[in-house]
Amino acid sequence: MNIQLVSKNALVGAATQGIGAGIAIELAKCGANVTVMARNEEKLKAFAASLPVISDEQKHQYLVADFSDFENYKNIITEYFKNNSVDILVNNTNGPEPGMALEKDVEDYQKAFDLLFKTVCETTMLALPYMIDQKKGRIINVSSLSVKEPINNLVLSNSIRSAVIAWSKTLSIEVAKHNVTINNVLTGYFDTERIKSMIENEAQKSNTSIEEIKKGRENKIPMKRLGKPEEYGHLVAFLASEYAAYITGTSIPLDGGLNNTY
C-alpha cells in the first residue's frame, strides 16, 4: 500500500510537538501540502521549514493561532479560509487542565468547551463548503479513550471530548453523500510532552516517583510501551487517503490494546 497525498492541502492543529507533529510529518511524507497551526510562531516557523518535501510543487506553511482564546482564534481561522481551502483537516488542540470534578466550576467547563468543542466546530464548518463542492474531503478529530471510559483526574477532557464525538458522528451522516468522511482517533498513552506533564502532575499529587507512575501506565498497556507520534501519523495518513474512502463516522482506538482491557 502506497499512500499518495500529492497536491492535497492539509491543515493540522497543535502541530509543533507530540501527536500533531507526528501527523504533520507523515502527511508531508505522503506528499501533502501541510499548514501547521499553533500559538508559538518561532516554533511553527522552524517546524514548517523542517517538514519533508518530496516534490518541487510541495509547499508547507504555518498559521499562528491560540486555541485557548476562542474569539481571536475565530477571527484568525476565518481569515485563513478566505484565501485557503483544505482537503484534509486534522482537528487537534492542546488539552485542558487536569483535575477532578469537585475541583472544577462552571467557568472551567466553559473554557474547556471553547477550547475543545468550539474551535473544532468553527474550523470544520469553515472547511466543509469546499469539500462539499469538490465532492471529497477528509476530517480527522484527535480525541481520547476517555470518551469510552472516563480517565481519572481529567474531568474536563472526559466531558467535552464526548460532546465532540457525538457532534462529529451526527455531522458525518449528513455529509457522507458528498464523499466527505469524518473520523475520530481515540488516543491512548503516547510518548509526548502532554503525557509527561500528566505523569509529573500525578506523581506530585500522589507523592510517588515519576518513573513509578510511568511504569504503571506502561504496564496497563498490553504492548507494554507508550505509542510513538509517528505511529499516530500513519493512521491519520491512511484515513486521509483514498484507501479509507468508505470509512466514516468511526471512532478508532489507537492505544496498544489498552481499550480492550477496560
Secondary element (H or E) of residue 62: strand 61-64
* Structure-block grid coordinates of residue 69: 482564546
Which amino acid, residue 219?
Answer: N
Place of cell 516534490: 55
Distance CA 202, CA 257 (A): 23
| Higher pLDDT among residues 33 and 150, named by residue | 33
Report the pLDDT averaged over residues 84-93.
97
Spatial distance between the Cα atoms of 90 and 96, rounded to a whole number of angstroms: 18
Q: What is the pLDDT of residues 211-237, one digit of tens each?
A: 998 998 899 999 999 999 999 999 999
Q: What is the pLDDT of residue 259?
A: 76
Of the candidates 227, 148, 235, the residue with the CA atom closest to the CA atom of residue 194: 227
Average pLDDT, the chain: 95
Cell of 183: 473520523
For residue 211, the tally of other CB atoms under 10 A from its CB is 10
> Which of 9, 62, 61, 1 lies closest to 31 in space, CA to CA?
9
Single-letter residue type at 49: A
CA angle, residues 241, 183, 44, in degrees to nearest 5: 75
Taking residues 46-72, report their average pLDDT. Answer: 97
Tens of pLDDT along 138-193? 999 999 999 998 888 889 999 999 999 999 999 999 999 999 999 999 999 999 88
Q: How far apart are CA 195 and CA 258, in angstroms?
A: 15
pLDDT at residue number 157: 94
Question: d(Cα 80, Cα 71) in Å, to the nearest integer?
Answer: 14
Of how many residues is the chain composed? 262
- Band of residue 85 on the pLDDT scale cut at 50, 70, 90: very high
Please give the residue that has the higher pLDDT: either 244 or 220.
244
Query: Cell 499518495, residue?
Result: 4
- State the cell numbers at 198: 500528566
Pair 231, 196: CB distance under 8 Å: no
Q: Residue 140 to residues 10, 17, 218, 225: CA-CA distances in angstroms?
A: 11, 18, 26, 25
User: Residue 35 pLDDT > 70, yes or no?
Assistant: yes
Please tell me the predicted confidence (pLDDT) of residue 262: 42
Confidence of residue 260 (pLDDT cuts 50, 70, 90): low
